[in-house]
Structure formats: C-alpha cells, structure tokens
Amino acid sequence: MTENLIKQLKHCGVGLLLASMALTGSTSIFAKSPADPNKVLRYVFPTAETGFDPAYIHDLYSAHVTTSIFETLYTYDYLARPAKLVPHIATTMPQVSADGLTYTIHIKKGIYFTQDSVFKGKPRELTANDYAYSFKRLLDPNLRSPNSWLLENKIEGMDALIKAANKTGKFNYDQKVSGLQTPDKYTLVIRLVKPDYNFPLLLAHDPTGAVAREVIEKYKDKAGFVMGHPVGTGPYVLSKWVPASRIVLKANPDYRGFTWNFAASSPEDGAIVKRLKGKKMPQIGTIDIQVMEENQSRWLAFQRGEIDIFQLEGQLVAKAIKDGKLRPELAKEGVHLSRIVDPEISYIYWNLKNPVVGGMSKEKIALRRAIAMSRSLDQEIKLVRNDDAERLHFPVPPGVVGYDPRYRTSTPYSVKAANLLLDRYHYKKDASGWRTQPNGKPLVIEYMARSDSIGQQSAELWKKNFDSLNIRMVFKPMLFADLIRAQKQCEGMFGASAWIADYPDGDNFMQNFYGPNTHMTNWSCGPIPEFDQLYRQTQQMKAGSERDALYRKMTRLLEVYMPVQMSYARYRNMLAQPRVIGYKKHPILHAEWMYFDIDTNTKSNH
C-alpha cells in the first residue's frame, strides 16, 4: 500500500471501499498460505457488521471477520462435540499453579503479522507481549470496551492501573503489572486475583486475539478504535469493505497454514474426515460476504447458486426442512444441511432505569410480570419462529455446562391472571379503555426490535399481547447496529435480545444479568443485589451440583423481579451448496471457512 493511499484512508475514515493492506508483491517469510485464489466462498450475513476491532465489536457478524484475522491463544476442535478447547497460538494447554492463580503459557515461534507500512518493511513477529498489550487494551477505561467483562477484576495488579487511568484520563500501557508478565518473547505469565475455572475458555474468545500496538496507535480514529484497518496474524486479511453491504477477505499470503487432522465425533463426520484429512489448510482463497437483511432475498440467492452457505430461518425453514431433516428434493441436488440447537438464549428485557417499566417497587415488578404472563411462548415459537426453536425455561441453554433440563419456570401463561395483577396494583383503565400508570399518567410501552421481517412479526404478536392487557404499545424498529448501541447506552424501555455462547459454560450466560455488567452485556441495566451476590459466589466454584443449585436460585430471582424473561434457543440451520466440502456448523466458533474446502469442479444445481 502506498503512503498516499494510507493517508487518504486515514483522512476519509472507513469510506465506502476499504483496502486494509497491499497484498501484491508481498514476500513470504517462513510460510506460504496453501489457499487457492480460484476458490471463492460466497457467504451472506443477515445483519450488517459494525467493524473489525476485537476490543470493541460485540456482534456475531463482525466476529466472523475478526476471528479470521486475529488469533487467540486457544481455539476449539472443529469436529469435537461437545466443544473441546485446544491450543492455537499457545504450544500446549496452560500450566496452572497448585493454587489455581498462575497460568504460564508458551506461544509458538515464527508467527508474523501481515505486512503493513507501519512495520516499515520489516517482518513483525508475534510475541507474548502482544497478548499482554491486547489484554490491557480490553481493560482501558478510555475505550469502554464491551468485552472488558472477560478480564475485569481478574488480573492481579490491573485494578490499580485502571484506577490511575480513571484519575488521569490516560491509560499507561507501559506500566508493569504483576499479573501480566512476559519473562521472554514467547512466554506469557498471567496471575489471577482469585481462581477462575473458566479462564482458559476466555483465552479462546475472539476479543482476546492479539493486535500490534504500532498498528493501533497509528490508525486509531477519534473514538479510539481501529474498526476499519485490522492487521493480525490469521489466515485472512480484509481486502474490501463496503459497510453494511459487502466484505471481502483474501487469504493471508504469509499465513503458515496447518494440516487438517480432526477426528470424527459422530457417524456423519466420517465423510468429512475422508474428504479433508491430510489437506493443507486453509484451502479457500477468497471469502466474499454480502449483507442481505431479508430472508427471502437470501433464499432466492441461494436457489440461484449465488450463495454457498446460507442460514435458513423464519418462514422459509419449512421450504427446506421437514421433521428436522433436509427435504428430499434438495438432498437429491447435493445440498447439505448442518443443523444444531444454538448454544444461545433468546429473551426479552425491561430497562430497569426506565421510569415507566423500571425500578424495584411492587407496582413496577407487577407490570413486568403481567407483561410476561400475557405471552404464550408456544404461540411465539410457532408463529414467529415456525417451530424452529426450543422453548427455554432456564438461562443456560442445551449443550452448555450448567444447563438444567428439568427446570421449569414459575411464570405462568395466563392473560386473566395478568389483568388481575395489573388491577391489584392500580393500573386502571381510562375512559378510552386503555390502562394508565398508578399515578394516572398514560401507560405506553415502546418495543424495540430489529427492522427485518422477524422483528415485524414479533412486534405484531406483542401488539396482540398488550391489547389483551389494555396497554398501548408502540413499535420502534431499528437497524441491528443501532439497536446494539441503544442497549449498551441503556436507552429504550422494552425489547428482545439474544446471547450466543462465547464459551460453553453457564457463567457466560449468567453474567448477562449481573448488575455491574450494565453497559456491557446486561441490557436490563440494573442490579438485583441478591442475584449479584450469588453470581459472585458461583464464580469461585467449579462446574457441578453445588453451582447448579445456585444457578437455580438465581433463575428464580430473575422470575421474581422480572428484569428479563427467557424465550427460546433457536435451531441454526445452515444450508451448503454441493461444491462445499466438509462444512459442519460449530457451536462456538463463529467462522469455519478455514476448516473446509470448495470443489471448483462442482457447480450448483440451483
């Protein structure tokens, strides 16, 4: 990339078309990517991305890109189910001290960042210090990273550094921290404040991927984030970006590659192992991603053979799937189906800071409980999700450690009881028949949801629910990126959200309702003291029956105070064209395209 072009990009920001780095004329250091430039995977996002800074992005679709560019110390076995943690940049699993506080991690030598002008033509090797810097960056209060919860209050000595930054307004990245030491270039020693049995899992989550300090300091914008110039060590680089429209990733020419060598965990895996075992990966040279928000548009594009992998959801599920299996006419054409229950929770939330629905007074709790009781989840799954979801009673979903299949919610579906509850707490009806607040002011509930077809269907059903309570409802449709921003800033009154596992443990879900995680992951934006106390206890416990018992108590507290109501876990139905070889949806990994292949000799029959 020429210096002039870099200056132009720096001045224009993201722009409409962003080339993240020059690939032409690059020379390999020790590695040469095995990817074939003629192999192009055409992929689709149902919702726009927000950017590509691992410290700041907090949405699933941006994470598809960042996990392809930035590398974490650990990752997951492609085929193992349940998900199995394995070393990635680390040479082995961490060495843990007897007291559970000190983690010693050795990283692989000879891994290099992709070329960028900031490195002045010199190869820039990945070191342990890059991870130490990246972890500090997650905790820099000036960035207000939505991912800071991963490491917050965990690393010895870090609180003092954060406190000083809050006082001076500047985070001192050069200050030594006892809990983050790099005794040599390839060794990282992490000292925790208290034992954390999930800590290795956190080191596989994409926000902990290593960034280069030089890149961050050169390309940071006014907000302090590097959203459009990602420079990592991973298998792909950002080649083109048209925000909310198109993203093109090219294989990193200097990527070291790896040999495909995964073991089958189910009978269906046998065919994948047979086709891919021993191949040098990645094989795919270009990932061409389009953003298509309408489900029908994605389906038509897949039928025309313009998309290779497609997530089927909503009204279209029945067109491709019957009784949980691919329809014979599609199977005959060579289309593949990879179907899992997502390790996720879909739920509704109330903003506890909102003057209409928030607070902990009895009448506010009664309002939230009445709204929850007016809702038939079976009806919602049938009408909005076309029976393509499993009802959730518990805040930990199936397939995740801590899930309790026997738990049942204490919140009944009863419109009659919901109306009696509102009557009891003085939500009276005015002359027009609509309820008012106990103080006599109008009662109007704003429902925030995505502006796509599913958001519209959900809003229509909620309107019927509110009508049954004689409560006015206003639908506020929003783009996904705007919705996430509003949730982080505790704006709005009432809405729907979902959380997909960052790591396969119940703690990753319970933390969504922890008071101090307001503005990060807790969209109800308020503390429930009893819940918060129990949550802190569970963080000191290994997974098992004792922690499970506390999870049940915590779930009952959520039902009593009703900051949230569990909804369902959706099925993830991924359709792949015949030319896609060895694709299997992973429950935790966001992007799998470095693990499967494209057959350039096979054409789509659509």
Q: What is the tens place of the pLDDT at every residue in 110-156?
A: 999 999 999 999 999 999 999 999 999 999 999 989 899 899 999 99
At 483, is the secondary structure helix, strand, or coil?
Answer: helix
Q: Cβ(315)–Cβ(295) under 8 Å?
A: yes
pLDDT value, residue 605: 52
Q: What is the tens place of the pLDDT at every residue in 511-525?
A: 999 999 998 899 999
Strands (E), 314-371: 321-322, 325-326, 336-341, 344-350
Nearest CA among 220, 251, 302 for reference residue 44? 302
Q: What percent of the chain is modeled with pLDDT above 90?
A: 84
Model confidence at 2, pLDDT cuts 50, 70, 90, reads: very low
At 339, is the secondary structure helix, strand, or coil?
Answer: strand
Give the span between the Cα atoms of 83 and 502, in whole angstroms: 12
Model confidence at 89, pLDDT cuts 50, 70, 90, reads: very high
Q: What is the per-residue burial (b if ≥16 Cβ within 10 Å, else e) of 569-599?
A: bbbbbbbbbbbbbbbbbbbbbbbbbbbbbbe
Q: Which residues pair with 310 in a beta bridge?
A: 575
Sequence letter at residue 520? M
Give the span between the Cα atoms of 341 and 504, in whole angstroms: 13
Vertex 510: Cα angle to 495 and 462 (nearest 5): 20
Give the span between the Cα atoms of 68 and 590, in whole angstroms: 9
pTM for this structure? 0.82
Give the span between the Cα atoms of 143 and 294, in whole angstroms: 33
Nearest CA among 605, 395, 424, 340 for reference residue 507? 395
Judged by average pLDDT, the poorest of 119-123, 317-321, 360-364, 469-473 is: 317-321
Query: What is the mean predicted confidence (pLDDT) over 76-104?
Result: 96
Q: What is the tens place of the pLDDT at every residue in 249-283?
A: 999 999 999 999 999 999 999 999 999 999 999 99
Nearest CA among 34, 64, 30 for reference residue 50? 64
Nearest CA among 280, 323, 279, 316 for reference residue 296? 316
At 197, is the secondary structure helix, strand, or coil?
Answer: coil
The total number of residues written for the chain in this structure: 606
Residue with token string 């953003």: 291
Give the span between the Cα atoms of 456 and 146, in whole angstroms: 28
Alpha-carbon distances of 367 from 171, 314, 350, 422, 461, rounded to whole Å: 43, 30, 10, 6, 18
Q: What is the per-residue burial (b if ≥16 Cβ within 10 Å, else e) of 478-495?
A: bebbebbebbbebbbbbb
Give the span between the Cα atoms of 541 and 387, in whole angstroms: 36
Q: Cβ(68)–Cβ(268) under 8 Å?
A: no
Give the span between the Cα atoms of 85 and 100, in whole angstroms: 18
Model confidence at 27, pLDDT cuts 50, 70, 90, reads: very low
pLDDT value, residue 32: 85
Q: What is the tens place of the pLDDT at every residue in 381-431?
A: 999 988 899 999 999 999 899 999 999 999 999 999 999 999 999 999 999
Region at 121 (left for phi over 0; alpha for psi -120 to 50; beta for the rest):
left
Nearest CA among 376, 384, 378, 446 for reference residue 415? 376
Nearest CA among 257, 206, 302, 284 for reference residue 596? 284
Q: pLDDT averaged over the chain?
A: 92
Vertex 17: Cα angle to 12 and 22 (nearest 5): 95
pLDDT value, residue 10: 37
Alpha-carbon distances of 81 from 296, 523, 588, rounded to whole Å: 32, 31, 10
Structure tokens at 549: 């018992």
Provide the terminal-to-terminal Cα distance of the chain, rounded to the nearest Å: 39
User: Taking 90 as the threshold, does the pLDDT of residue 313 lie above it?
Assistant: no
User: At 289, which helix (H) or strand (E)?
Assistant: strand 284-291
Give the span between the Cα atoms of 6 and 21, in whole angstroms: 9
Q: What is the tens place of the pLDDT at every residue in 294-312?
A: 889 999 999 999 999 999 8
Query: What is the mean predicted confidence (pLDDT) over 452-458?
Result: 89
User: Taking 90 as the threshold, does the pLDDT of residue 41 lie above it?
Assistant: yes
Q: What is the tens place of the pLDDT at every residue in 568-591?
A: 999 999 999 999 999 999 999 999
Judged by average pLDDT, the poorest of 14-28, 190-204, 339-353 is: 14-28
Q: What is the tens place of the pLDDT at every residue in 131-141?
A: 999 999 999 99
Give the span between the Cα atoms of 409 and 566, in whole angstroms: 9
pLDDT value, residue 225: 61
User: At 206, which helix (H) or strand (E)?
Assistant: none
pLDDT value, residue 454: 86
Q: What is the tens place of the pLDDT at every residue in 160-170?
A: 999 999 999 99
The residue with greater pLDDT, 26 or 73, is 73
